[in-house]
Amino acid sequence: MIPIANPLAGYLASRAEIDEAVRRVLASGRYILGPEVEAFEAEFAAYIGVRFAVGVASGTDALVLALRAAGIGPGDEVVTVSHTAVATVAAIELAGATPVLVDIEPDHYTLDPARLEAAISPRTKAVIPVHLYGQPADLEPILEVSRRHGLRVIEDCAQAHGAAYRGRRVGAWGDLGCFSFYPTKNLGAFGDGGMVVTDDPELAGRLRLLREYGWSERYVSSLPGLNSRLDELQAAVLRVKLRHLEKGNCRRREIAARYSEGLTGTAVEPPRLRPNATHVFHLFVVRSKARDRLRQFLTRRGVGTAVHYPVPVHLQPAYRGRVRVVGPLTETERAAREVVSLPIYPELTDDQVQTVIDSIRAFGGDARD
Protein backbone atom coordinates (compact mmCIF):
# COMPACT_ATOMS: atom_id res chain seq x y z
CA MET A 1 0.00 0.00 0.00
CA ILE A 2 1.27 3.48 -0.89
CA PRO A 3 0.45 5.48 2.26
CA ILE A 4 -1.11 8.95 2.22
CA ALA A 5 1.79 10.16 4.43
CA ASN A 6 4.94 8.52 5.75
CA PRO A 7 6.65 10.16 8.77
CA LEU A 8 8.94 7.14 9.15
CA ALA A 9 10.42 7.81 5.71
CA GLY A 10 11.18 11.36 6.82
CA TYR A 11 13.05 10.05 9.86
CA LEU A 12 15.03 7.53 7.84
CA ALA A 13 16.05 10.23 5.34
CA SER A 14 17.78 12.21 8.12
CA ARG A 15 18.37 9.44 10.61
CA ALA A 16 21.99 10.14 11.52
CA GLU A 17 21.37 13.86 12.12
CA ILE A 18 18.22 13.22 14.13
CA ASP A 19 19.78 10.48 16.25
CA GLU A 20 22.71 12.77 17.06
CA ALA A 21 20.33 15.60 18.02
CA VAL A 22 18.41 13.27 20.34
CA ARG A 23 21.61 12.00 21.95
CA ARG A 24 22.72 15.59 22.49
CA VAL A 25 19.54 16.42 24.39
CA LEU A 26 19.54 13.23 26.45
CA ALA A 27 23.14 13.87 27.51
CA SER A 28 22.43 17.50 28.39
CA GLY A 29 20.13 16.85 31.33
CA ARG A 30 17.90 19.73 30.19
CA TYR A 31 14.55 18.60 28.76
CA ILE A 32 12.01 21.46 28.96
CA LEU A 33 12.40 25.04 27.60
CA GLY A 34 16.15 24.92 27.32
CA PRO A 35 18.76 25.89 24.71
CA GLU A 36 17.30 23.69 21.94
CA VAL A 37 13.92 25.43 22.19
CA GLU A 38 15.56 28.85 22.29
CA ALA A 39 17.69 28.04 19.23
CA PHE A 40 14.76 26.59 17.30
CA GLU A 41 12.59 29.62 18.11
CA ALA A 42 15.27 31.93 16.72
CA GLU A 43 15.83 29.79 13.62
CA PHE A 44 12.14 29.41 12.88
CA ALA A 45 11.47 33.14 13.36
CA ALA A 46 14.27 33.91 10.88
CA TYR A 47 12.87 31.37 8.41
CA ILE A 48 9.37 32.88 8.53
CA GLY A 49 10.71 36.43 8.51
CA VAL A 50 9.44 37.69 11.88
CA ARG A 51 11.08 38.93 15.07
CA PHE A 52 9.68 36.43 17.57
CA ALA A 53 8.68 32.77 17.78
CA VAL A 54 7.32 31.05 20.89
CA GLY A 55 7.34 27.25 21.10
CA VAL A 56 4.25 25.58 22.58
CA ALA A 57 2.89 22.07 23.04
CA SER A 58 0.70 21.74 19.93
CA GLY A 59 -0.82 23.56 16.99
CA THR A 60 -4.14 23.76 18.81
CA ASP A 61 -2.45 25.35 21.82
CA ALA A 62 -0.74 27.79 19.46
CA LEU A 63 -4.14 29.07 18.35
CA VAL A 64 -5.56 29.15 21.89
CA LEU A 65 -2.57 31.05 23.24
CA ALA A 66 -2.52 33.44 20.29
CA LEU A 67 -6.16 34.30 20.93
CA ARG A 68 -5.57 34.76 24.65
CA ALA A 69 -2.44 36.84 24.08
CA ALA A 70 -4.55 39.10 21.85
CA GLY A 71 -7.03 39.55 24.70
CA ILE A 72 -9.81 37.53 23.07
CA GLY A 73 -12.13 35.54 25.29
CA PRO A 74 -15.72 35.18 26.56
CA GLY A 75 -18.22 37.45 24.81
CA ASP A 76 -16.02 37.85 21.73
CA GLU A 77 -16.52 36.43 18.26
CA VAL A 78 -13.85 35.10 15.89
CA VAL A 79 -14.51 34.61 12.18
CA THR A 80 -13.08 31.58 10.40
CA VAL A 81 -14.16 28.75 8.09
CA SER A 82 -16.03 25.50 8.59
CA HIS A 83 -13.89 23.63 6.03
CA THR A 84 -10.87 23.10 8.25
CA ALA A 85 -9.49 20.73 10.85
CA VAL A 86 -11.78 20.93 13.85
CA ALA A 87 -8.82 22.23 15.88
CA THR A 88 -9.31 25.72 14.40
CA VAL A 89 -12.82 26.00 15.78
CA ALA A 90 -12.07 24.08 18.98
CA ALA A 91 -9.29 26.57 19.78
CA ILE A 92 -11.71 29.50 19.51
CA GLU A 93 -14.03 27.83 22.00
CA LEU A 94 -11.14 26.89 24.28
CA ALA A 95 -10.24 30.57 24.43
CA GLY A 96 -13.83 31.26 25.51
CA ALA A 97 -14.92 32.99 22.30
CA THR A 98 -17.66 32.14 19.81
CA PRO A 99 -16.73 30.80 16.35
CA VAL A 100 -18.41 32.50 13.38
CA LEU A 101 -18.15 30.45 10.20
CA VAL A 102 -18.21 31.65 6.58
CA ASP A 103 -17.87 29.94 3.22
CA ILE A 104 -14.72 29.20 1.25
CA GLU A 105 -13.56 30.05 -2.25
CA PRO A 106 -14.37 27.15 -4.61
CA ASP A 107 -10.98 27.07 -6.31
CA HIS A 108 -8.64 27.30 -3.31
CA TYR A 109 -10.64 25.98 -0.31
CA THR A 110 -9.75 29.03 1.83
CA LEU A 111 -11.80 31.79 3.43
CA ASP A 112 -13.71 33.78 0.80
CA PRO A 113 -12.86 37.46 1.42
CA ALA A 114 -16.18 38.47 -0.15
CA ARG A 115 -17.98 36.72 2.73
CA LEU A 116 -16.03 38.35 5.53
CA GLU A 117 -17.69 41.74 5.92
CA ALA A 118 -21.17 40.26 6.44
CA ALA A 119 -19.86 38.12 9.31
CA ILE A 120 -18.50 41.04 11.35
CA SER A 121 -20.56 42.18 14.32
CA PRO A 122 -19.86 44.50 17.27
CA ARG A 123 -18.59 41.42 19.12
CA THR A 124 -16.09 40.40 16.45
CA LYS A 125 -12.50 40.69 17.62
CA ALA A 126 -10.45 38.54 15.23
CA VAL A 127 -10.30 36.66 11.94
CA ILE A 128 -8.50 33.34 11.49
CA PRO A 129 -7.69 32.63 7.81
CA VAL A 130 -6.65 28.99 7.37
CA HIS A 131 -3.92 28.24 4.82
CA LEU A 132 -5.47 24.88 4.07
CA TYR A 133 -3.58 21.99 2.43
CA GLY A 134 -0.51 24.25 2.06
CA GLN A 135 -2.25 26.88 -0.10
CA PRO A 136 -2.17 30.48 1.23
CA ALA A 137 -5.48 32.20 1.81
CA ASP A 138 -6.09 35.45 -0.09
CA LEU A 139 -4.55 37.60 2.63
CA GLU A 140 -4.58 41.12 1.18
CA PRO A 141 -8.38 41.56 1.02
CA ILE A 142 -8.79 39.71 4.32
CA LEU A 143 -6.30 42.06 5.97
CA GLU A 144 -7.91 45.13 4.39
CA VAL A 145 -11.36 44.30 5.79
CA SER A 146 -9.92 43.27 9.15
CA ARG A 147 -7.82 46.41 9.57
CA ARG A 148 -10.76 48.61 8.61
CA HIS A 149 -12.79 47.05 11.43
CA GLY A 150 -9.94 46.99 13.96
CA LEU A 151 -9.75 43.18 14.06
CA ARG A 152 -6.78 41.00 14.90
CA VAL A 153 -5.66 38.60 12.16
CA ILE A 154 -4.36 35.27 13.43
CA GLU A 155 -3.08 33.02 10.64
CA ASP A 156 -3.65 29.27 10.95
CA CYS A 157 -0.49 27.98 9.25
CA ALA A 158 -0.72 24.42 10.60
CA GLN A 159 -0.54 22.97 7.06
CA ALA A 160 1.57 25.66 5.40
CA HIS A 161 5.18 25.64 6.64
CA GLY A 162 7.10 27.61 4.03
CA ALA A 163 4.11 28.66 1.93
CA ALA A 164 4.27 32.23 0.67
CA TYR A 165 1.82 34.93 -0.44
CA ARG A 166 3.16 37.65 -2.74
CA GLY A 167 6.71 36.67 -1.87
CA ARG A 168 6.31 36.74 1.91
CA ARG A 169 5.89 33.61 3.99
CA VAL A 170 2.57 32.94 5.67
CA GLY A 171 2.65 33.60 9.39
CA ALA A 172 4.36 36.94 8.78
CA TRP A 173 1.27 38.76 7.47
CA GLY A 174 -1.13 38.85 10.41
CA ASP A 175 -0.71 39.90 14.02
CA LEU A 176 0.15 36.32 14.90
CA GLY A 177 0.84 33.10 12.99
CA CYS A 178 0.23 29.63 14.40
CA PHE A 179 2.00 26.43 13.33
CA SER A 180 1.62 22.74 14.16
CA PHE A 181 4.49 20.25 14.18
CA TYR A 182 2.32 17.13 14.18
CA PRO A 183 4.40 14.26 12.69
CA THR A 184 2.74 14.31 9.25
CA LYS A 185 3.25 18.05 8.67
CA ASN A 186 5.80 19.38 6.19
CA LEU A 187 7.85 20.23 9.28
CA GLY A 188 6.90 17.45 11.69
CA ALA A 189 8.13 16.42 15.12
CA PHE A 190 7.96 12.93 16.66
CA GLY A 191 4.99 13.93 18.78
CA ASP A 192 2.96 17.07 19.30
CA GLY A 193 4.43 20.55 19.10
CA GLY A 194 3.50 24.04 17.96
CA MET A 195 4.76 27.57 17.47
CA VAL A 196 3.33 31.09 17.51
CA VAL A 197 5.17 33.77 15.54
CA THR A 198 4.77 37.55 15.66
CA ASP A 199 6.55 40.85 15.11
CA ASP A 200 4.93 42.36 18.21
CA PRO A 201 7.16 42.27 21.32
CA GLU A 202 4.20 42.76 23.66
CA LEU A 203 2.32 39.80 22.19
CA ALA A 204 5.49 37.68 22.28
CA GLY A 205 5.99 38.55 25.95
CA ARG A 206 2.41 37.60 26.80
CA LEU A 207 2.77 34.32 24.92
CA ARG A 208 5.86 33.38 26.90
CA LEU A 209 3.98 34.02 30.13
CA LEU A 210 0.81 32.23 29.04
CA ARG A 211 2.57 29.03 27.96
CA GLU A 212 3.94 28.45 31.47
CA TYR A 213 1.31 29.32 34.08
CA GLY A 214 1.77 33.06 33.56
CA TRP A 215 5.04 32.93 35.47
CA SER A 216 6.91 36.22 35.42
CA GLU A 217 9.37 34.47 37.73
CA ARG A 218 9.32 30.82 38.70
CA TYR A 219 6.24 29.94 40.77
CA VAL A 220 4.93 33.52 40.60
CA SER A 221 2.04 33.98 38.14
CA SER A 222 1.47 37.50 36.86
CA LEU A 223 -1.54 36.36 34.81
CA PRO A 224 -3.50 33.11 34.52
CA GLY A 225 -1.74 30.81 32.10
CA LEU A 226 -1.42 27.11 31.37
CA ASN A 227 1.17 24.42 30.74
CA SER A 228 1.97 24.39 27.02
CA ARG A 229 5.69 23.95 26.52
CA LEU A 230 7.67 22.66 23.55
CA ASP A 231 10.17 20.14 24.91
CA GLU A 232 13.86 20.00 24.12
CA LEU A 233 13.75 16.67 22.28
CA GLN A 234 11.15 17.87 19.80
CA ALA A 235 12.94 21.19 19.32
CA ALA A 236 16.22 19.41 18.58
CA VAL A 237 14.53 17.17 16.01
CA LEU A 238 12.75 20.13 14.44
CA ARG A 239 16.03 22.06 14.13
CA VAL A 240 17.38 19.21 11.99
CA LYS A 241 14.24 18.96 9.90
CA LEU A 242 14.00 22.72 9.38
CA ARG A 243 17.29 22.55 7.49
CA HIS A 244 15.66 20.17 5.00
CA LEU A 245 12.25 21.86 4.77
CA GLU A 246 12.81 23.84 1.58
CA LYS A 247 14.18 20.79 -0.23
CA GLY A 248 11.17 18.77 0.93
CA ASN A 249 8.73 21.47 -0.16
CA CYS A 250 10.38 21.59 -3.59
CA ARG A 251 9.95 17.83 -3.92
CA ARG A 252 6.28 18.14 -2.93
CA ARG A 253 5.75 20.74 -5.66
CA GLU A 254 7.51 18.48 -8.15
CA ILE A 255 5.22 15.57 -7.26
CA ALA A 256 2.17 17.86 -7.42
CA ALA A 257 3.14 19.03 -10.91
CA ARG A 258 3.47 15.43 -12.10
CA TYR A 259 0.09 14.57 -10.60
CA SER A 260 -1.59 17.59 -12.17
CA GLU A 261 -0.20 16.81 -15.60
CA GLY A 262 -0.93 13.09 -15.39
CA LEU A 263 -4.44 13.44 -14.02
CA THR A 264 -5.77 15.91 -16.60
CA GLY A 265 -8.95 14.55 -18.16
CA THR A 266 -9.44 11.81 -15.55
CA ALA A 267 -12.06 11.19 -12.87
CA VAL A 268 -10.49 13.85 -10.65
CA GLU A 269 -10.01 17.60 -10.83
CA PRO A 270 -6.50 18.60 -9.73
CA PRO A 271 -6.04 21.55 -7.35
CA ARG A 272 -5.89 25.06 -8.72
CA LEU A 273 -3.03 27.30 -7.63
CA ARG A 274 -3.54 30.82 -6.37
CA PRO A 275 -1.71 33.41 -8.47
CA ASN A 276 1.16 35.19 -6.67
CA ALA A 277 1.34 32.44 -4.05
CA THR A 278 3.59 29.47 -3.32
CA HIS A 279 1.74 26.26 -2.43
CA VAL A 280 3.70 23.73 -0.32
CA PHE A 281 1.31 20.78 -0.80
CA HIS A 282 1.02 19.46 2.70
CA LEU A 283 -1.82 17.59 1.02
CA PHE A 284 -2.56 16.99 -2.66
CA VAL A 285 -6.33 17.34 -2.72
CA VAL A 286 -8.43 16.62 -5.80
CA ARG A 287 -12.17 16.66 -6.45
CA SER A 288 -14.32 13.85 -7.78
CA LYS A 289 -18.08 13.45 -8.06
CA ALA A 290 -17.41 9.72 -7.71
CA ARG A 291 -15.15 10.09 -4.68
CA ASP A 292 -16.31 7.10 -2.65
CA ARG A 293 -16.15 4.67 -5.59
CA LEU A 294 -12.77 6.08 -6.53
CA ARG A 295 -11.39 5.56 -3.02
CA GLN A 296 -12.59 1.97 -2.97
CA PHE A 297 -11.00 1.36 -6.37
CA LEU A 298 -7.67 2.88 -5.30
CA THR A 299 -7.63 0.85 -2.08
CA ARG A 300 -7.96 -2.35 -4.12
CA ARG A 301 -4.96 -1.21 -6.19
CA GLY A 302 -2.83 -0.46 -3.13
CA VAL A 303 -3.11 3.33 -3.15
CA GLY A 304 -3.96 5.03 0.14
CA THR A 305 -6.31 8.01 0.27
CA ALA A 306 -7.96 10.20 2.91
CA VAL A 307 -10.65 12.87 3.09
CA HIS A 308 -9.73 16.29 4.54
CA TYR A 309 -12.46 16.86 5.68
CA PRO A 310 -15.60 14.70 5.37
CA VAL A 311 -17.89 16.66 7.70
CA PRO A 312 -17.76 20.47 7.93
CA VAL A 313 -17.45 21.70 11.49
CA HIS A 314 -20.90 23.35 11.46
CA LEU A 315 -22.50 19.95 10.68
CA GLN A 316 -20.59 17.95 13.29
CA PRO A 317 -22.64 16.76 16.29
CA ALA A 318 -20.45 18.54 18.84
CA TYR A 319 -20.86 21.93 17.14
CA ARG A 320 -24.46 22.02 15.93
CA GLY A 321 -26.01 25.11 17.50
CA ARG A 322 -22.75 26.15 19.16
CA VAL A 323 -21.33 28.17 16.28
CA ARG A 324 -22.73 31.10 14.32
CA VAL A 325 -22.99 30.45 10.58
CA VAL A 326 -23.18 33.42 8.22
CA GLY A 327 -24.73 32.79 4.81
CA PRO A 328 -25.06 29.46 3.04
CA LEU A 329 -21.89 27.37 3.19
CA THR A 330 -22.47 25.95 -0.27
CA GLU A 331 -18.85 25.56 -1.33
CA THR A 332 -17.88 24.18 2.07
CA GLU A 333 -20.50 21.44 1.87
CA ARG A 334 -19.67 20.66 -1.76
CA ALA A 335 -15.99 20.29 -0.91
CA ALA A 336 -16.84 17.90 1.91
CA ARG A 337 -18.68 15.69 -0.60
CA GLU A 338 -16.00 15.76 -3.30
CA VAL A 339 -12.46 16.20 -1.96
CA VAL A 340 -9.98 13.34 -1.65
CA SER A 341 -6.30 13.49 -0.69
CA LEU A 342 -3.72 11.48 -2.62
CA PRO A 343 -0.32 10.33 -1.31
CA ILE A 344 2.30 13.08 -1.14
CA TYR A 345 5.52 13.38 0.85
CA PRO A 346 9.11 14.09 -0.20
CA GLU A 347 10.20 10.44 -0.07
CA LEU A 348 7.47 9.29 -2.46
CA THR A 349 9.26 7.79 -5.46
CA ASP A 350 8.60 8.64 -9.10
CA ASP A 351 7.42 5.06 -9.64
CA GLN A 352 4.91 5.39 -6.81
CA VAL A 353 3.66 8.68 -8.23
CA GLN A 354 3.16 7.01 -11.59
CA THR A 355 1.33 4.12 -9.93
CA VAL A 356 -1.14 6.59 -8.40
CA ILE A 357 -1.64 8.32 -11.76
CA ASP A 358 -2.09 5.02 -13.63
CA SER A 359 -4.54 3.77 -11.03
CA ILE A 360 -6.73 6.86 -11.34
CA ARG A 361 -6.58 6.74 -15.12
CA ALA A 362 -7.67 3.09 -14.95
CA PHE A 363 -10.73 4.12 -12.94
CA GLY A 364 -12.12 5.89 -16.02
CA GLY A 365 -14.67 8.69 -16.29
CA ASP A 366 -13.94 12.32 -15.54
CA ALA A 367 -14.40 14.78 -12.73
CA ARG A 368 -17.89 15.70 -13.93
CA ASP A 369 -19.31 12.18 -13.50
Give residue 365's pLDDT: 58
CA distance 191 to 233: 10
Q: Which CATH number fits domain 245-363: 3.90.1570.10, 3.40.225.10, 3.20.20.80, 3.90.1150.10?
A: 3.90.1150.10
pLDDT of residue 369: 47
Q: Which amino acid is at 237?
A: V
Secondary-structure class of domain 7-242 per CATH: alpha beta
- Nearest-angstrom CA–CA distance, 234 and 306: 27
Give the number of other Cβ atoms within 10 Å of residue 367's Cβ.
Answer: 18
Q: 343 with 5: CB under 8 angstroms?
A: yes
- How deeply is 218 buried, as exposed, middle or buried, from its count of CB atoms within 10 A (0-12, 13-18, 19+)? exposed
Residue range(s) occupied by CATH 3.90.1150.10 in the chain:
245-363
> How many residues are there in the chain?
369
Across the beta sheet with 277-278, the strand order is 168-169, 164-165, 277-278
Please tell me the predicted confidence (pLDDT) of residue 214: 82
In the chain, list all ranges with CATH 3.40.640.10: 7-242
Q: What is the pLDDT of residue 221?
A: 83
Q: What is the pLDDT of residue 222?
A: 87
pLDDT along the chain (369 residues), means of 10: 96 97 97 96 98 98 98 98 98 98 97 98 98 98 98 98 98 98 98 98 97 88 92 98 98 98 94 97 97 97 98 95 95 98 98 98 68
